[in-house]
Amino acid sequence: MLKSFRRVIILGTAVLVFSVFQVYKMQDSGIYRTNINDNAKNDAENVHVLINKLQHVAYKKISQNFSLGDSENKLDHEGSSHDMFCVEKSKWGNISGLPAVKSNMSVWEYKRNITCPDVQFGETAPRPLRSKLVLNCDNVTDSVLKVEMVNNSNDIHVTKFGNACLNKFIDSCCKGPERVPNIVHYVWFMRNSLDFISFISILSVVRFVNPCVIVFHGDRLPTGKYWDFLMRLSPNIIHIKRQKVNTVFGQRVKFKQHSSDVMRIEALLMYGGIYMDTDTVLVKSIDSLRQYPCVMSTQSGSLGSAFIMAEKNATFLNMWLEGYKTNYRSSHYYYNAMIYPRQLAYNHTDIIHVEDGTVSRPKDLYVNKPHSKRFESYNWSNIFGMHLFTRNTRTTFNEDTIKDMRSVTGAILRHILFGNKELCHLLKTP
């Protein structure tokens, strides 16, 4: 009986997608056209009502055999939670104005100079309608994920840390056969405008991870032209409003970075997923790493905490956080963030997978080498990503300066933004 309802729901969803195609086909580029097919809209609404009714009947059938439990985080273990809560799928739109990635990873001499796309980050007036992800767990027969149309880049769904509805969404909609759910976390405090490198970090996640959702933890959200550009791509962003951690297990935090260190561990313990610093970028898919309970990468003889992957409530992260309780060295900048987890990983190889610099810094690209022209031809085809440390250089990074920037950093930024690592120039118009 349940399987029959599921088949009807899936069929109805397919009809819904086909019916609303004309309504949404122009939204991928951030432009909403009003000359849509009214019949298609009506058909889509009718099918959506039908699906909701079928879900309600199916839920009654399910509830006869399963209980929700106090946590309200799961329905059952046979896929019904996915059917009930993930009907309305939110997808990343086409990256407007940006081509697919076509970097040649077999040639590392930059002798060509190609035409790069003219990416526009200016304000759009009036701002086009965009989708907004909304979580709604008021009624278990409703989809957890809803999509609304808004035209404000700051209109992002806000929730609290540990919210049961967000847990339900992640458990129901963001998990596959891999151990690590396909969500990405950033910590953002005391900053306003989204800088170019942070923008590229998020864009690399969109390109190569295609996450179920990106979660921003912090006291505010970014602003500015780069943020507006990202907001036109998808509703897949949620803001967990949190205040900066000032104490760690009763001990006062001396360095503000330690607050972020603790928050990233807490976020991954609560939800699982992928944590990235805003100056860490990806250059290809990391799906092959999601099979491990926890993943970190070596950096400068220790473990780098700028990139962490972990399943929910990972054993390694629990042990790491316990180190802040029993052995927090507040005056030592690196100890708890890098040295202590390295010692743990050395003694507990069964609960963490360590990459050899492939998601942080290769051994032969330490300090400012990635920003130097001398190492421009370095072959980085074997890495998943890199911690750029751009704060350690006086170089100005933006969509114009990177076009002829002769360095590893320049090539990686072009690879992510323009889809090609080659030096490039804008085609001059007569």
**Which domain covers residue 64, as residue numbers?**
2-95+120-360
Asked if the structure places residue 176 within a domain, the reply is yes
Give the pLDDT confidence score for residue 258 in this predicted structure.
Answer: 86
Asked if the structure places residue 144 within a domain, the reply is yes
Asked if the structure places residue 395 within a domain, the reply is no
273: left (phi over 0), alpha (psi -120 to 50) or beta: left
pLDDT in tens, 275-284: 999 999 999 9
Give the pLDDT confidence score for residue 376 in this predicted structure.
Answer: 95
Residue 301 pLDDT level (bands cut at 50, 70, 90): confident
Average model confidence (pLDDT) across the chain? 77
Lowest mean pLDDT among 40-44, 275-279, 337-341, 362-366: 40-44
CATH number, domain containing residue 133: 3.90.550
∠ CA 6-11-12, rounded to 5°: 95
Asked if the structure places residue 365 within a domain, the reply is no
Cα 316 to Cα 306: distance, rounded to the nearest angstrom: 16
Among 303, 317, 343, 336, residue whose Cα is nearest residue 179: 317
Asked if the structure places residue 131 within a domain, the reply is yes
Asked if the structure places residue 297 within a domain, the reply is yes
Handedness of CA 171, 172, 178, 184 (dihedral sign): negative
Give the pLDDT confidence score for residue 393 in this predicted structure.
Answer: 87
Among 411, 301, 275, residue whose Cα is nearest residue 356: 301
Cα 63 to Cα 375: distance, rounded to the nearest angstrom: 62
The number of domains in the chain is 1
> Under a CB-based contact definition with an 8 Å cutoff, are residues 85 and 143 in contact?
yes
Asked if the structure places residue 105 within a domain, the reply is no
Asked if the structure places residue 413 within a domain, the reply is no
pLDDT in tens, 48-91: 333 333 333 333 332 233 222 233 333 233 333 344 456 444 45
